Amino acid sequence: MATSADAAAPGLQPLAGRTAIVTGASRGIGRAIAVHLGSLGADVVLGCSSNPAQAELLAAELNAGAGSGRAVSVRADVSDPAGAAALFDRAEAAFGRPAHVLVASAGVLDPKYPALADTDLADWDAAFAVNARGAFLCCRQAARRLARGGGGRIIALSSSLVGVLRPGYAAYAASKAATETMVRIMAKELKGTRITANCVAPGPVATDMFFAGKREELVQRIAVENPMGRIGESTDIAPIIGFLCSDEAEWVNGQVIRANGGLV
């Protein structure tokens, strides 16, 4: 639920009248992004795959909160072309206009953290199915269907692991590297539409996905190696997305923003 810390300053609703689609919105970074965009006045489509009850609860909280845009939840598998299309169909049906913003936040990570030599083909394919194929299918819909003429924004969540190159993350980092390359090329292909396309690449963030399979000793070691001396929070990432969705960010295009406290 939106809090006073999440909400925009009174009277400032820079995304009022715009619709944002956020995938992976039921928890973690995606949830924080959806709450923040709602606080900026956006109507939000909450895309989820495995946690529909949490997404529906979040939609109810956003709809009940003062100063937030409207919200609807959609259960959609982003690795399926029909699932990606359903997000945009629902946005248009619920709010009566084309979407303005896509935030492709859905992602998966193998909690076993195997070396490449020990990575199962099924786990490799699962990472690419959601992290790369899912981002592609949603971005393809966005390139075809986002509103033209200003305010169109595509933002894909990557990972600072693309730069850190930590052992045990080969499939995850490779899938995110593919997404970064795709988005930077798409930014050039969208010339003339006034739609921008960027990536935000968080470092370690305190989410269920980050903690899965990690011992406390490892978590503390990762925190200490960061120049800021801590693990990131979802609220460190959401305002960066909010800025990229704003009119003030139109000159930021085709970029990868590494939000990681100086880790790399």
pLDDT tens-digit map of 117-162: 999 999 999 999 999 999 999 999 999 999 998 999 999 999 999 9
Residue 8 lies in a domain: no
Instruction: Name beta bridge partners: 259.
Output: 202
Span 39-69, pLDDT tens digits: 999 999 999 998 899 999 999 999 998 777 8
Report the distance separating Cα 19 and Cα 26, nearest Å: 17
DSSP for residue 256? E
Spatial separation of the C-alpha atoms in residues 54 and 73, rounded to whole Å: 9
Residue 218 lies in a domain: no
In whole angstroms, what is the distance from residue 69 CA to residue 41 CA? 5
Give me the pLDDT at residue 136, please.
98
Is there a catalytic annotation at residue 113? no
Q: Is the pLDDT of residue 6 over 80?
A: no
Is residue 210 in a domain? Answer: no
Tell whether 144 is covered by a domain.
yes
Q: Is residue 92 part of a domain?
A: yes
- Say which residues have a Cβ less than 8 Å from residue 205's Cβ, sequence separation at least 6: 28, 29, 231, 232, 233, 234, 236, 237
Q: By residue range, what is the domain housing residue 53? A: 19-205+233-258
- Tell me whether residue 215 is in a domain: no
220 part of a folded domain: no
Look up residue 137 and give its two tokens: 């299918």
Q: How many domains does the chain have?
A: 1
Decide if 136 contacts 182 (C-beta within 8 A). Answer: yes
Catalytic, out of 113, 128, 172, 210: 172
Q: DSSP class of residue 74?
A: E
SS3 of residue 197 by DSSP: strand
CA 73 – CA 60 distance, rounded (Å): 9
Residue 101 has pLDDT above 80, yes or no: yes
Q: How far apart are CA 100 and CA 41, in angstroms?
A: 13
Q: Using CA atoms, how far apart are residues 203 and 151, in angstroms rounded to an integer?
A: 27
**What is the domain-level CATH number for residue 188?**
3.40.50.720
Helices 135-145 & 81-95, crossing angle to 10 degrees? 40
- Whether 214 maps to a domain, the answer reads no
